[in-house]
Amino acid sequence: MYTSQRELWRRAMIVTVTLNPAVDKMYWVDGLKMCDVTQEEFLTRAIRSSTSAGGKGVNISVFLSRFGMENVAMGFVGGHTGHVVVRDLRDEGVTTNFVWTHGETRINVTLLQVGREHSPNLVNEAGQTILPVEVDRLMRRYRGMLSRATWVVLGGSIPPGVDPGIYGEMAKMAKDAGAKVILSTGGEALTRALGAFPYIVKPDTREHMTLEGKGLTSVDAIVDAGRHMIAVGAEIVIISHDVTGDIAITRNDVWEIKAATPTSKFKNLVGADDVFLGGILYKLVQDAPLEEALKFGLAAGLASAESEEKICRNMDVIEQELQGITLARL
């Protein structure tokens, strides 16, 4: 019998894997215009800016650590920007176990127009090319971590030089070791990982609102896509419906999680979707039912979106957001 929340957390060993982390650079501007005539330069001045470690698994690690949940962040880092990622994570209390590479960790840029923060413009680098020897080194470390892991988060894009099937391989290794897998990626990496039976899948549809070549413009299309992924191997599929809502599909149920939050309250959407997953994991580690975890996850994501700081650190704000969230069976 576990007598405290802290004792319950000690049961969980959480590992996040971000193969293509980044340094997130965010700039707030009054307006953004693109030069359509030839001239020497076109200057847009930033009102303010921020720099932080980024990437799906990285963001989840930071969120969990801010609320006292220990975890280990893994992946590839290199160069000066790699040191920024590791430093930021360690400053947040996250244990790091990255493989250092010959290249430079990428930089992702977000432009936020004041008053229209709900529609950010993202420019993401492809990332450094990873060598086969570096992949082998990471897989050896990852295998060693699985002896203690109870949850594994696999998140983000696949860097150049890495086989898109790597998430499928890592998910299978985790499941064979007895850990539950949360997968958040897109494209071929997602398709090839479904057969490894991940516990939760959150497709990344930011670049293309499609799955398996089919559009996700309606609830029916989202549910059909989720059921297809469950038929292939996923246990739970969560797909974004709009900025303030998601649809969760299981073998037996379909849930719509919604919030009444107006988009005018949003100040920074970067990382909010990752915090949504982090919030779900935060509750599942405490043995909360899925319905409770889904509502808390959306509340956490919204709390982050309403803060200029990329990842919310105020539980009171999350609890306040929770009051306005509904969950309905479809």
124-179 confidence digits (pLDDT tens):
999 999 999 999 999 999 999 999 999 999 999 999 999 999 999 999 999 999 99
Please state the rounded mean pLDDT for residues 20-36.
87
- The reply to whether 111 falls in a domain is no
- pLDDT, greater one: 180 or 214: 180
- The reply to whether 276 falls in a domain is yes
Reference 77, options 36, 124, 22; nearest CA is 22
pLDDT recorded at residue 1 = 36
Average pLDDT of the chain is: 91
Please state the rounded mean pLDDT for residues 97-105.
98
- The reply to whether 26 falls in a domain is no
Q: Determine contact, residues 155/16, Cβ cutoff 8 Å.
A: yes
pLDDT recorded at residue 289 = 97
Structure tokens belonging to residue 68: 């006292």
Residue with token string 């990982």:
193
62 pLDDT tier (thresholds 50, 70, 90): very high
State the CATH number of the domain containing residue 291. Answer: 3.40.1190.20
- The reply to whether 315 falls in a domain is yes
% of the chain exceeding 70 in pLDDT: 91
pLDDT recorded at residue 279 = 98
Residue 276's domain comprises 5-21+54-106+127-329
pLDDT recorded at residue 42 = 73
Residue 7 has pLDDT above 60, yes or no: no
Lowest model confidence (mean pLDDT) among 109-113, 209-213, 216-220, 301-305: 209-213
pLDDT recorded at residue 3 = 43
Residue 237 has pLDDT above 80, yes or no: yes
The angle at the Cα of 286, spanning 269 to 180, to the nearest 5 degrees, equals 80
pTM: 0.93
- The reply to whether 286 falls in a domain is yes
pLDDT recorded at residue 5 = 53
pLDDT recorded at residue 222 = 92
- The reply to whether 188 falls in a domain is yes
Q: How many domains does the chain have?
A: 1
Strand 200-201 to strand 180-184: parallel, antiparallel, or no bridges (unpaired)? parallel
Those residues with Cβ within 8 angstroms of residue 7's Cβ, 6 or more apart along the chain or in another chain: none
pLDDT recorded at residue 138 = 99
40 pLDDT tier (thresholds 50, 70, 90): low
pLDDT recorded at residue 115 = 83
- The reply to whether 274 falls in a domain is yes
94 Cα distance to chain centroid: 16
- pLDDT, greater one: 327 or 212: 327
- The reply to whether 272 falls in a domain is yes
* 62 residue type, one letter: V
